[in-house]
Amino acid sequence: MAKKHPGFCALCGEYFDDLSFEHIPPRSAFNKFSARAVSGKDFIGKTTVPWDLKHLPYDNLQRGMGKYSLCSVCNSTAGVWYVKEYKKISHIFVEALAQITSADFPQCIEIKEMYPLRFIKQVICMFCSVNNQESLRAYNMAEQEISLQDNPLVQMMIESKKSLYQASKLVDELRRFVLDKNASGLDSKKFKVCMYVTKSSLHKLNGLSSVMKIENNTFSISSEISTFPLGFILYFNPTEDLEYKGVDITNFANCNYDDIASVRMPVFVYEMNTWVPLDYRTKAEIQKGINEAEDFLNNR
């Protein structure tokens, strides 16, 4: 008998004995073939370079990359409303990528006719699956009092933990946005959705994470989905002073379901060689970092 996947649907929130598989990205958007899913906890300290996953334990996903995260009704409804547009845009970017090398990639791409709201809702739908109730349980702690610490690094870690908890409470707003076909507008104080292009064959589905910059004691809270050819970063409670990657497409959410627009946008092509959130270093840059760390340790 086929294995069942019980759990709470990442969109309607109801409990089901057997959830359906959501392809991330959609099957029709270059996700038809089997994939090997490696869990984050298996990476750390187990590989010499982060793009070499050959020797790590993996789940063989025969259907492609994705997750048993949606009930069949939500899965097929979102499929009918949003997937077609996502597929179309993915194919436009693949055609553009095929014609040129990343070095001379045009600064802008023009998409003649698109449905911006349908596209961004598919993106948000994927983020809901990645951040389903089961994944968010890790942050489900009572809101902690921030005790003042002398050490700014410790202080930043406490604040970042609290921010992760607060962000986990915002995901319900995203679910409602996707579930209502006609809902438009995302609160830009709470959410920023950025997009980039990648040629990498590594797919990355990162749930809520805090990325800290130790040099200036700042951090950002985000979730990231990196797939070929498009990658997305969903920032939570974005502040103006942080540096954001990719092109901001949050405004797509302000359109109506049937609005068609011609969109001209800058294109950012990133490399994706590690599991680390928001890390777009080339292999050479990563190797240089590894060598420097080893030199440092050897010369202590």
Binding site for Zn ion (CB under 5 A): 9, 11-12, 71, 74
Inter-residue contact 201 to 35 (CB < 8 Å):
no
- Cβ distance to Zn ion smaller for residue 77 or 210: 77
- Cβ distance to Zn ion smaller for residue 136 or 272: 136
Measured CA to CA in angstroms, residue 147 lies from 138, 155, 169 at distances of 21, 8, 22
154-158 CB contacts, 8 Å cutoff, 24+ apart? 156/212, 156/217, 156/218, 156/219, 157/212
Q: Hey, what are 13's tokens? A: 């929130």
- Cβ distance to Zn ion smaller for residue 69 or 226: 69
Inter-residue contact 190 to 237 (CB < 8 Å):
yes
* Least distance between Zn ion and beta carbon 13 (Å): 7
* Least distance between Zn ion and beta carbon 68 (Å): 12
Tally Cβ neighbours within 10 Å of residue 169: 13
Tally Cβ neighbours within 10 Å of residue 180: 11
* Least distance between Zn ion and beta carbon 185 (Å): 23
Tally Cβ neighbours within 10 Å of residue 214: 10
- Cβ distance to Zn ion smaller for residue 79 or 277: 79
Q: Hey, what are 167's tokens? A: 């962000």
- Calpha distance 293→63 (Å, rounded): 39
- Cβ distance to Zn ion smaller for residue 135 or 209: 135
- Cβ distance to Zn ion smaller for residue 74 or 193: 74
* Least distance between Zn ion and beta carbon 224 (Å): 24
* Least distance between Zn ion and beta carbon 10 (Å): 8
* Least distance between Zn ion and beta carbon 118 (Å): 19
CB hemisphere CA count around 192 (13 angstroms): 18
